[in-house]
Amino acid sequence: MRCLVTGAAGFIGSHLVERLLADGHAVVGIDGFVDNYDRSLKESQLALYAEHPQFEFVEDFIERRDLGTLLEGVERVFHLAALPGVRSSWGDSFEDYSSHNVYATQRLLEAALGAGVARFVYASSSSVYGDAADLPMSEDARERPHSPYGVTKLAAEHLARLYHRNYGLATVSLRFFTVYGPRQRPDMAIQRFLTAARDGTPIMLFGDGEQTRDFTFVADTVESMVRAAELGQEGAVYNVGGGSTVTVNRLIEAIEEVSGCRLEVDRQVAQRGDVRDTCADTTRARADLDFAPTTQLREGLERQWQHVLARGNPIR
């Protein structure tokens, strides 16, 4: 079938496009190349499938594109395009977050409704929970975002539900928990730590390192999206976690073990918007999507480490 992937040149989006093409689908990708990190990295990801005969690419922002034309013949939408980042979402930059994460989603939902799209899968975030009172985090728990970024992701979730309840658009939202793996964004912790191990440079750690994260390998995340498009209950929300909840201090130790390099840690105070702990209750995804992660943290780190080595300079 014909699928639209927004954010097609990004970290998760590039992996999803590869999977859909491998499964025999035609894919239309759109990406506006927001300047949150080096464009050349996104272009290198796009180049992996840019010449595939079943792939079409559009460079533009959803906020200003003629979406009716873009969605012609599209049966499934996978909406990953967003401006990411908890710490950078404060202050004047919130206008950009509102535009890219909320307004763009509303425009795409409206266009998908008009185009008769059969399924709309939205990539949300565990950031909607904030500092949850109870762990693991359940989809039925109260959402209390701890950052402006989390607010925008939750707002877009609500829009997806509204278009389902009011118009019958078949939406499914997936709350991703700390996705990592090859081609991860350069600002994310695991990519920064592995790159520092390769280059022999210090890492900056915010907080005491005893905060925990539920790390999810990118291939498992992509699998959840494919299954959500096939099996997800219309209007539902699902947690997508990797089952590898560890402290950041333990993560650093694991990276040292995988890389064989000792990391020099520059410890800084905790940052605004950072939550203390995340841990996904994936009972609903297991039941409805028959989804369970298959990549353990050590294996995922080893695969990302090999990618970091292949892309950069040799270890000093």
Residues designated as active site: 149
C-alpha distances (whole Å) from 27 to each of 24, 224, 247 are 9, 18, 38
The set of residues, in sequence order, having a beta carbon less than 8 Å from that of 44 and lying 6+ positions away, is none
How many Cβ atoms are within 10 Å of 282's Cβ, its own excluded?
Answer: 26
If we measure between CA atoms, which residue out of 109, 140, 145 comes closest to residue 126? Answer: 145
Helix, strand, or coil (residue 219): helix
C-alpha distances (whole Å) from 304 to each of 218, 220, 254 are 10, 14, 13
Which residue is associated with the tokens 């012609």? Answer: 72
Helix, strand, or coil (residue 181): coil
Specify whether the CB–CB gap between 28 and 73 falls below 8 A: no
- 122 phi and psi angles, rounded to 5 deg: -105, 130
Supply 269's token pair.
Answer: 């105070």
